[in-house]
């Protein structure tokens, strides 16, 4: 740099330096680009040295940063619990709580270890690697780390072998709805009995997600007049629990459900949750809410009555609703709004689908011609397994009661 400045000073002090430069420029304007010996005497430009910032050890830990990540990204409580566990496993793999030290080579080795442990390719890619990628991208955006070690690391998914439709067949739909009408026995809680009775029917006529229904409250059911007809409406809202896109939506209740006296049930329950008891809060959490547990209980029940693996026990209704809507040529945008699916195009994001339009389209769906069951409850391998689990649970509860009773006199005597 000093040499360049010295050369520049030398030329600057030459009496004719200004004229030499002007002469060169004049020749260039006349397209005279021939060799100019004076150019060789000009100093070569050298960029100034870039001073490196003072080194600073990077730290990215779950203890210091994960809560900030959750608050700023707004991930759901269920995802928060899942991804924290996966990131904890990464920290255990690299042997450090400082994830900023993670290298791409360690991510590749971790991926291999996860696959070798028996996890599916989809679980590793869409669970473990997704959690790491999201966390590091957030850290980059907040200037905590400079790079994402999981960038470019992926898992190739095998081609899925599909042996059947994702939708319930007519026979499967009829079996579930028929069993939903069966009077409950004393082994089921009141809330589970209510969920078995109503949730499958609501999903059958709406294609809604199971947890959107199990978290419904009495205040989420209301009526409005459409023409001269009173129409009952369900409001799916984040106020009641998790909603996938975070947006509330309303859709009409099919008249067949109203005719079965669903509204009478809602009025008896009053405000508050319809399908779980909030007083059981100690058994639930933000990551595993009672409404979600009820959805899992419904899935077990559906399996127990004979719906085999190959179709999702609750999600099958979303596929079935789409199939039935296609049969009656329901308008796709209306169908998607009822189900809570994202708009297919940018254009469909404009405007709204009124309840009046949804009501007219919903009436076109064929009714399920179902009668209450008259025969015995289906006996399946799943129902036998569920019975064994109940007996084991009851046995453990009795053992705990006996142990507590035997301990009580000793404690009283000691006092």
* Cα–Cα distance for residue pair 86/229, rounded to 1 Å: 52
Helix 77-94 × helix 130-141 angle, to 10°: 90
Is it the case that residue 4 has pLDDT exceeding 60? no
- Mean predicted confidence (pLDDT) in 118-137: 95
Q: H or E stretch including 134?
A: helix 130-141
Backbone φ and ψ of 397, nearest 5°: -65, -40
Question: Per-residue pLDDT for 85 more than 90?
Answer: yes
9 has a pLDDT exceeding 50:
no
Per-residue pLDDT band at 237 (split at 50, 70, 90): very high
pLDDT digit string, tens, across residues 340-390: 998 888 888 888 999 999 999 999 999 999 999 988 888 777 777 766 776
> Bigger pLDDT: 28 or 68?
68
pLDDT, tens only, 63-77:
999 999 999 998 888
pLDDT of residue 365: 96
What mean pLDDT is predicted for residues 394-412?
A: 71
Query: Sheet holding 229-236: strands in order across?
Result: 221-226, 229-236, 249-252
198 and 265 Cβ atoms separated by less than 8 Å: yes
Cβ atoms 201, 261 nearer than 8 A: no
Token duo for residue 14: 């030459």
Average pLDDT for 115-126:
94
- Quick one: pLDDT at residue 16? 61
């Amino acid at each position: 740099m000093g040499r360049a400045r010295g050369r520049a000073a030398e030329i600057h002090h030459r009496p004719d330096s200004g004229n030499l430069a002007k002469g060169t420029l004049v020749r260039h304007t006349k397209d005279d680009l021939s060799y100019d010996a004076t150019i060789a005497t000009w100093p070569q430009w050298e960029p100034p040295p870039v001073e490196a910032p003072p080194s600073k050890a990077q730290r990215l830990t779950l203890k210091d940063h994960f809560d900030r990540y959750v608050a700023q990204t707004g991930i759901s409580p269920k995802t928060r619990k899942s991804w924290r566990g996966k990131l904890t496993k990464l920290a255990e793999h690299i042997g450090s709580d400082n994830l900023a030290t993670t290298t791409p080579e360690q991510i590749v080795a971790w991926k291999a270890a996860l696959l070798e442990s028996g996890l599916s390719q989809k679980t590793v890619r869409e669970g473990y690697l997704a959690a790491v990628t999201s966390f590091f991208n957030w850290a980059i955006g907040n200037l905590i780390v400079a790079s994402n070690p999981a960038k470019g690391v992926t898992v190739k998914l095998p081609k899925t072998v599909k042996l059947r439709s994702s939708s319930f067949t007519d026979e499967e739909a009829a079996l579930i709805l028929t069993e939903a009408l069966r009077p409950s026995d004393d082994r089921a809680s009141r809330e589970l009995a209510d969920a078995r009775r109503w949730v499958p029917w609501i999903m059958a006529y709406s294609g809604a997600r199971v947890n959107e229904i199990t978290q419904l409250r009495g205040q989420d059911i209301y009526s409005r007049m459409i023409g001269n007809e009173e129409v009952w409406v369900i409001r799916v809202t984040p106020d009641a629990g998790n909603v996938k896109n975070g947006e509330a939506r309303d859709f009409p209740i099919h008249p067949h459900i109203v005719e079965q006296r669903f509204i009478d049930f809602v009025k008896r329950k009053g405000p508050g949750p319809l399908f779980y008891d909030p007083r059981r809060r100690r058994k639930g959490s933000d990551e595993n809410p009672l409404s979600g547990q009820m959805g899992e209980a419904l899935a077990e029940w559906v399996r127990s009555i004979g719906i085999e693996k190959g179709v999702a026990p609750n999600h099958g209704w979303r596929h079935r609703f789409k199939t039935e809507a296609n049969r009656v040529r329901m308008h796709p945008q209306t169908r998607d709004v009822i189900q809570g699916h994202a708009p297919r195009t940018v254009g469909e994001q404009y405007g709204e689908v009124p309840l009046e339009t949804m009501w007219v389209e919903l009436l076109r769906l064929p009714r399920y011609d179902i009668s209450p069951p008259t025969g015995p409850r289906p006996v399946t391998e799943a129902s036998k397994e569920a019975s064994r689990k109940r007996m084991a649970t009851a046995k453990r509860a009795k053992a705990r009661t006996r142990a507590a009773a035997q301990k009580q006199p000793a404690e009283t005597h000691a006092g």
